[in-house]
Amino acid sequence: MIDMDIIWDEWNKHYKSIGINTDRICKDGIINPEKFCKTKPKILFVMKDVNDIDNGPKGDLPGWLKEGPKYQLWFTIARWSAGIFNKFPPYKQIDLKMMKDSLEQVAAINLKKTCGGARVDSEIISAYTHQDRDLLLKQINSINPNLIIACGVMEPLIWLLNLKVNPEKPAADPIKDLSRKTWIIPFRHPARATGGKIYNNLKKVLAKIDYNL
């Protein structure tokens, strides 16, 4: 596993070289490395950016989440994780302990490493992904997931990961990245996909594949 401190140093140098304020960087990645290493499947949630809200991550997303999920987005991520790790029990059976335990076993990254507002234009996400592509690939390859949940970011992931997709239906089905032995799941962003219906949709999607590689 690559030392992420080295990568964050590289990110600081990279942003300074293109005039981006490095104080806005929010570190992300594996929530609890010790538990993640022992867990299968290894799940990576890929999202857009961090909302710079009061009482937010303040530069360290894993540190902010170490006590469990906060705000609706992370409760949703925790429920989806609990579903995957526990063979999708009924939605209402997932309690806070199960959510906290499951969240500690996953990784979550943003394509845009600087904090932003409640909404961000897709053009900005694409531009950051392009500018940061070498470092993003280092980070993803270091995490080495079996399962990537693309939370509203399938478009940039196609070219970032060089995925072979049906160009007429690029986000219709899960995609197997043979070079990484990873399944990529096009899915909705958790901030806009709460509730049991979306949870069951994820269950149906994952039932189509063998992601316990």
DSSP the chain: ---HHHHHHHHHHHHHHTT--GGGB-B-EES-HHHHHT-SS-EEEEES--B--TT--TTBHHHHTTT---HHHHHHHHHHHHHHHTT---GGG--HHHHHHHHTT-EEEESS-B-B-S---HHHHHHHHHHTHHHHHHHHHHH--SEEEEES-HHHHHHHTT----TTSTTSS-EEETTTTEEEEEE--GGG--SHHHHHHHHHHHTTS----
Q: For 51-93, how does the pLDDT look when each residue is reduced to its tens digit (9 = 90+)?
A: 776 556 778 999 999 889 988 999 999 999 999 999 999 999 9
Closest CA to 139 of 182, 96, 110: 110
* pLDDT surpassing 70 at residue 107: yes
pLDDT for the residue 2:
63
169 falls within a domain: yes
212 falls within a domain: no
91 falls within a domain: yes
100 falls within a domain: yes
Q: For 125-154, how does the pLDDT look when each residue is reduced to its tens digit (9 = 90+)?
A: 999 999 999 999 999 999 999 999 999 999
Number of domains observed in the structure of the chain: 1
All residues at 6 or more sequence positions from 92 whose CB lies less than 8 Å from its CB, including other chains: 196
Q: For 179-199, how does the pLDDT look when each residue is reduced to its tens digit (9 = 90+)?
A: 888 999 999 888 877 789 999
Supply 2's token pair. Answer: 């690559």
Cα separation of 69 and 93, whole Å? 17
Q: Do β-strands 29-30 and 107-110 pair in parallel, antiparallel, or remain unpaired? A: antiparallel
Q: What share of the chain in percent tops pLDDT 70?
A: 94
* pLDDT surpassing 90 at residue 211: no
pLDDT for the residue 212:
63
213 falls within a domain: no
14 falls within a domain: yes
The owner of tokens 């490493």 is 113
Whether the CB-CB separation of 12 and 26 falls below 8 Å is answered with no
pTM, full prediction: 0.94
Whether the CB-CB separation of 81 and 103 falls below 8 Å is answered with yes
Average model confidence (pLDDT) for the chain?
91
211 falls within a domain: no
Domain coverage including residue 107 = 4-19+27-206
Q: What share of the chain in percent tops pLDDT 90?
A: 72
47 falls within a domain: yes
Domain CATH code at residue 49: 3.40.470.10
